[in-house]
Amino acid sequence: MRFGSFLALSAFLWTTAQGQQLPPVEPPQPLPAAHPDAPTLRVTANEVLVPTLVEKRGGGVVYGLKQGDFVLEDNGVPQKIRVQEEMDTAPVSLVVAVELGGVSVLEFDKLAKLGPLLDLFLSDGRSQAALVGFDSKPHLIRDYTHTSEDINEALKHLEPGNGGSAILDTVGYAVDLLESQPKEYRRVLLLISEPRDHGSKHTKPEQLIKKIGGSDVLVLSVSFSPARAELLHDIKDNSDNRTMNMVSALVMLVQAFKKNVAKEVAQMSGGEYTTFTGDKGFEQRVVNSAKHARNRYLLTFSPSDPTPGLHTIRVRTTEDYGARIVARANYWREQGQ
């Protein structure tokens, strides 16, 4: 079943249950290819990767956990998992996506100081980073490099963009950039933007949900304008509703994307969302994001439920360590996988 067909079915079922229908999804407009060779996704429904951070209340990471220390549920059903222990040594492919449009120009002085902080991602000599800027559309400012100096130089010469903040288009573009890299690399997107999308023309929320749900990209979002309104629904934090009907879960997640896409893409991928105000706050958020990116357990499982569409994931530990668990919230299963 193609994605459009699934959405049509979702809309029909939602109408039956709720008496209203989702607006039709417009066909995506073509976006310039991030890489000439389109790769095959590493993450399929045959093996789902679930980055998982187990953090103590005081901020330290809980190390040394094994397979038997975790319980993972797919739509409420416990799964047989394995834990890859080599995650800390894998090189990183990092895309830094910075907003250039609207009020983001007020944050350029902070972005100019970002370069040295990227050494936390690139310190092993094998890892690499690329820089993407965006307003009403994304564009590649600096292709992959192994040194933060190249990125830092580009950050010091950012040009203000128009009033757009095409986060949906940019995340999709960045995921394509990351998936063009060798499979042994861990793929990380550091998104620095306001919370809401303004002006994406090529990517709808439903399409990005499917893309993130079918990739192994870890999204770390740092927002310079915290949202004031409460989300209609937060898939990540409301564990009581994680086993809801998959159509309802998709509808709710779409609504959440519209309210704060920076937060939702991070939580959906197993990454983190944070906000900042001053220079020190910004630097500390980036430092924490870098450290946490390298201190995640990598859980994998082969889903027992063949139902196509959006699946929700819940991870917990068998013992109560009094810790905060940050794990991938969703994945997307295609028909026949």
Position 243 pLDDT exceeds 50? no
pLDDT at 245: 61
d(CA 74, CA 86): 24
Indicate the pairing of strand 186-193 with strand 309-317: unpaired
Closest alpha carbon to 253 in 214, 310, 184: 310
Mean pLDDT of 65-93: 86
Q: What average pLDDT score do residues 189-203 get?
A: 93
pLDDT of residue 247 exceeding 80:
no
**Can you read off the two tokens belonging to residue 49?**
């990767």
Q: What percent of the chain has pLDDT over 90?
A: 39
φ, ψ at 290 (rounded to 5°): -65, -45
Mean pLDDT calculated for residue range 230-237: 36
Average pLDDT over residues 219-232: 60
3-state SS record for 90-143: CCEEEEEEEECCHHHHHHHHHHCCCHHHHHHHHCCCCCEEEEEEECCCEEEEEE
Calpha distance 322→126 (Å, rounded)? 35
Domains in the chain: ranges and CATH:
88-293 (3.40.50.410)
Tell me the C-alpha to C-alpha distance, in Å, between residue 264 and each of 64, 125, 193, 241, 271: 29, 31, 13, 16, 10
How much is the pLDDT for 232? Answer: 30
The conformation of residue 157, written as its DSSP 8-state character, comes to T
pLDDT for 37: 47
In the chain, the percentage of residues whose pLDDT exceeds 70 is 76
- Per-residue tokens: 278: 């001053």
User: Are the C-beta atoms of residues 170 and 192 closer than 8 Å to each other?
Assistant: no
For residue 304, what pLDDT is reported?
92
Read off the pLDDT of each residue in 184-196 and give the average, rounded to a whole number: 91
The predicted model scores a pTM of 0.77
What does residue 117 show for φ and ψ, rounded to 5 degrees? Answer: -70, -25
